Amino acid sequence: MKIAYLGPAGTFSEVAALLTATPEDELIPFASFPALVSAVETGIAQVAVLPIENSIEGSVSTTVDLLIHETSLLISREVVVPVHHFLVGPPGAKITDIKTVHSHPQALGQCRRFLERCLPNAHQSAALSTAGSVADVVRAGDTSVAAIGPLRAAELYGGEVLARNIEDNHLNVTRFVALSEHDHAPTGADRTSFCATIPSNVPGSLHALLTELAVDNIQMTKLESRPAKGLLGEYFFLIDIEGHRTDERIAGALERIRAKADTLKIFGSYPRFTLENGG
């Protein structure tokens, strides 16, 4: 099987792709989220792995918008990747010599406390990718320049780890989803994701939708709104529930929701990530 992920090699996205892969699978890096979706839709790959939610930053809007507006691919799996950042220099680098730190702006922000305390005078330079910044720093060989990135990037590109787990929040994780032509068969421990729009100027319309979950004792694990990219004040409501869309109870509730909603789009049903089944 061919699995598409957001490159280059060494990113957290590659780590997520490896968690969905078997030793026989081939991983293919792409440069953007839309390219990942197109890779599956055109047969280049069978699966695309994209980040959908971070425990600190919230939903990844690009992925959510692709699911809502641009693709009929379904979520077939989810994996959760801990976000641990490492300060990496070229071979021979010492932390006392570092004058510039290179990384993606989010990584720099997530390591603010470490940078303020341990490298207060270092210049911070923005990059497009954490893994790419590690590769660039190692390739350049300037021992006064370090990068912040995943451990896998340091291992792949031969970098010198100068400090480990430098993120401010050690509980930071990113949830990734695997998109494919079909979602997953029922396992008994599943999650279903969908979005809906509600009639405008109808008081209680969202409550009416959610009541259909409550009456069947269906656990909702996520609810958020996303602008519909039309008129101001129009939103898609993104909902995750426990259970598989083919379960009789879930299927019935979804049909009742469909009858009350203006639109309903099911993103797929897939096994819930747990330490026992995923890592």
CA-nearest of 48, 10, 16, 56 to 32 is 48
Q: Is residue 219 part of a domain?
A: yes
One domain for residues 69 and 176: yes
Q: Of 69, 134, 74, nearest to 102 (Cα)?
A: 134
Which of 32-41, 71-80, 180-189, 220-229 has the least mean pLDDT? Answer: 220-229
Pairwise CA distance, residues 44 & 38, whole Å: 8
- Flag whether 260 is in a domain: yes
* Portion of the chain with pLDDT greater than 90, in percent: 87
Does residue 62 belong to any structural domain of this protein? yes
Strands (E), the chain: 2-6, 26-30, 47-54, 58-59, 74-82, 86-89, 100-103, 123-126, 145-149, 160-163, 173-180, 190-197, 220-227, 235-242, 263-271
pLDDT tens figures, 190-237 = 999 999 998 877 888 999 999 999 999 999 999 999 998 777 778 899
Of 10, 2, 49, nearest to 28 (Cα)? Answer: 2
**144 shares a domain with 98:** yes
Alpha helices (runs of H) in the chain, residue ranges in sequence order: 12-20, 33-41, 61-65, 105-110, 112-118, 130-140, 151-157, 205-215, 248-260, 275-278
Domain for residue 185, yes or no?
no
98 occurs within a structural domain: yes
Q: Are residues 111 and 240 in the same domain?
A: no
Q: Which of 180, 209, 228 is the last residue of a domain?
A: 180
Q: Are residues 16 and 120 in the same domain?
A: no
Same-domain status, 53 and 176: yes
Regarding whether 46 and 176 lie in a shared domain, the answer is yes
Q: Which two tokens stand for residue 139?
A: 């390739």
Instruction: Please say if the pLDDT value at position 53 is more than 60.
Output: yes
Which residue, 244, 247, 240, 248, is CA-closest to 210? Answer: 240
Question: Can you give the CATH number for the domain in which 106 is found?
Answer: 3.40.190.10
155 with 268, same domain? no
Catalytic pick among 20, 63, 174, 192? 174
The pLDDT, as a whole number, for residue 275 is: 55
Residue 278 has pLDDT above 70, yes or no: no
Mean pLDDT for 241-270 is 96
State the average pLDDT over residues 23-38. 95
Is the Cα torsion angle 30, 34, 36, 41 positive or negative in sign? negative
- Is a pLDDT exceeding 50 seen at residue 279? no
Pairing of strands 26-30, 2-6: parallel
Q: How far apart are CA 241 and CA 243, in angstroms?
A: 6
Cis ω for the linkage preceding 8 (within 30 of 0): yes
Q: Which of 30, 86, 176, 194 is catalytic?
A: 176
Same domain membership, residue 246 and residue 109? no
Average pLDDT, the chain: 93
Last residue in a domain, options 180, 214, 242: 180
Residue 176 falls in the annotated catalytic set? yes
Domain count along the chain: 3
My answer on whether 158 and 203 are in the same domain is no
Same domain? 140 vs 20: no
pLDDT at 41: 97
Dihedral pair phi/psi, residue 63, rounded to 5°: -65, -45
Considering the domain boundaries, does residue 10 fall inside one? yes
Residue 236, domain CATH: 3.30.70.260
In a domain, 262, yes or no: yes
58 and 176 both lie in a single domain: yes
Cβ neighbour number for residue 74 with a 10 Å cutoff = 21
Alpha helices (H) along 183-271:
205-215, 248-260
How many whole angstroms separate alpha carbon 147 and alpha carbon 136? 9
Q: How many CB atoms lie within 10 A of CB 155?
A: 14
Decide if 22 is catalytic. Answer: no
pTM of the model: 0.88
> What percent of the chain stands above pLDDT 70?
97
176 and 42 part of one domain: yes
Q: Which of 126-135, 141-150, 184-193, 263-272 has the lowest mean pLDDT?
A: 126-135
- pLDDT at residue 106 tops 90: no
**Which residues make beta-bridge pairs with 27?**
3
What is the domain extent for residue 53?
Answer: 2-83+172-180
Of 180, 209, 230, the residue at which a domain comes to its end is 180
2-6/47-54 β-pairing: parallel
Beta bridge partners of 174: 54, 81
